[in-house]
Structure 1
């Protein structure tokens, strides 16, 4: 997965989901520490305004295109990416690996009751997974006790659901403490894992209009959706220049 595609200063991995999973499985088995970012247009736009956050993204081992806007942007720049790799799908594939290999998984983030529901669902669906530990997302970002607790649990995978940019900052600030493990920011994926938030039906996902389904179900998200046209406009300006 060496080829990169630059979209507004963020370098995405030119890869498929299957290739990604095969690479990550190999890294897990070799105890290689790995920082994964799944970035959508909103994240890319934020990185453009926040140099420190951009640096964090650039330090990640892999950046995946989560969001049809990224695919559209890469196409406009005449440097297409093979496919969209949604963060939730990637997390589920990693849970399948964890289940098969009986790996230790730590979940960090979300509200406590949502997190507990998600853990119950994971235990039921993936009985081979060892739950290394979990903690809700309501803590001070620089609290050393949280990082110490995660480290003590000796995890093979850490899913951080604090929302961007906080989740990537937390991973970046504490990455040096660990000797192994997959570290990935998963946004609202724990809400979906718990059943609190429903995912778009498969047809909507195949048509790449999952964003529209979420907007219909959660109209309060409309402000977030304004990032897509702004992002495309910025890509077109970059192309022109």
Structure 2
């Protein structure tokens, strides 16, 4: 049985899963005054001020290494508390950006430094704007064929200085996957933007990162649908209140079940705080 602190019992004895310390890779060690990594319920969360984001992004694409950016939701945080591939992926990411209000509230409750919360689509727009300003490139992978074409068209129109060096939808035979990976490698994009439908979702990135020489990789489920204007996103008012889930409720009614997850998060947070006293 797993306890609130990630420990478990085996044959009546309590043990803890071994977790490696969270470390920022290469470029981030040089800009550690711009990125601060904290732990929220033993899950890494990074603090990056909006005014520092450009320098952080430049540091990532300039060091010749691969860097995964994770947009961390509350569900992701709870999932990352368990051992396994997802936890390893989050711990190994170069940048973990919180996008959910409960993460911010939990950090405050546990008296941690308070992270900056970003709206996912706005974060990606900021990222693309930075890359455009410096004449960098992007490759898009995921979504439906029509959605990806329209998203690519809109991105090119919105960011004319950004070089879109390729793209492929998430619909393809399994035998074509190696060729897609090779196409991405040859195009060597500054940013690999991955969307819905890709095998393994966000885990596709660490599974295939070894095939790429360098660059920034980011997964966001609805990114291409939003850019293609086929899906709307929550209003700024809903997002600021942490109620963006209401926007998705009509289309995804099962999201209401996350209320139980929120209760679990609060219970675990209280346990952590009491344990510290």
Asked whether the two chains share a fold, i.e. TM above 0.5, the reply is: yes
Distance 2:198 2:179 in 1: 21
Shift of 1:236: 2.2
Which residue matches 1:133?
166
Distance 2:132 2:53 in 1: 18
Q: Deviations over 1:163-212 (max 9, x none)?
A: 79923321112212222211111222222111111122223333333233
Q: Deviations over 1:134-168 (max 9, x none)?
A: 11223559943322121122211001113799233
Q: CA RMSD in A?
A: 2.6
Q: 1:137 to 1:17 in 2, by over 3 A?
A: farther
Do residues 223 (structure 1) and 257 (structure 2) align? yes
Which residue matches 2:59?
26
Distance 1:138 1:81 in 2: 40
Which residue matches 1:179?
213
Do residues 77 (structure 1) and 103 (structure 2) align? no
Shift of 1:40: 0.9
8 Å contact kept, 1:36–1:183: yes
Q: 1:124 to 1:217 in 2, by over 3 A?
A: same
8 Å contact kept, 1:35–1:184: yes
TM-score when normalising by structure 1 = 0.87
Residue-pair matches, total: 241
Question: SS of the counterpart of 1:27?
Answer: helix
Larger relative contact order (CA 8 Å, sep ≥ 6): 1
TM-score when normalising by structure 2 = 0.77
How do 1:72-151 residues align onto structure 2 when only pairs under 5 Å count?
A: 72-139=105-172, 140=174, 143-151=177-185
Distance 2:223 2:259 in 1: 18
Larger helix share, 1 or 2: 1
Q: Deviations over 1:11-70 (max 9, x none)?
A: 111222332332112332454432111111111212233422211111111111111111
Which residue matches 2:193?
159
Q: 1:145 to 1:9 in 2, by over 3 A?
A: farther
8 Å contact kept, 1:40–1:67: yes
Shift of 1:237: 2.5
Distance 1:133 1:88 in 2: 21
Q: Which moved more, 1:88-97 or 1:225-234?
A: 225-234
Distance 1:145 1:188 in 2: 24
Structure 1 segments of 4 or more deviating over 6 A? none
Question: SS of the counterpart of 1:199?
Answer: coil
8 Å contact kept, 1:38–1:65: yes
**Whose Rg is larger?**
2
Structure 1: where are the runs of 5+ without partners?
none
Which residue matches 2:240?
206
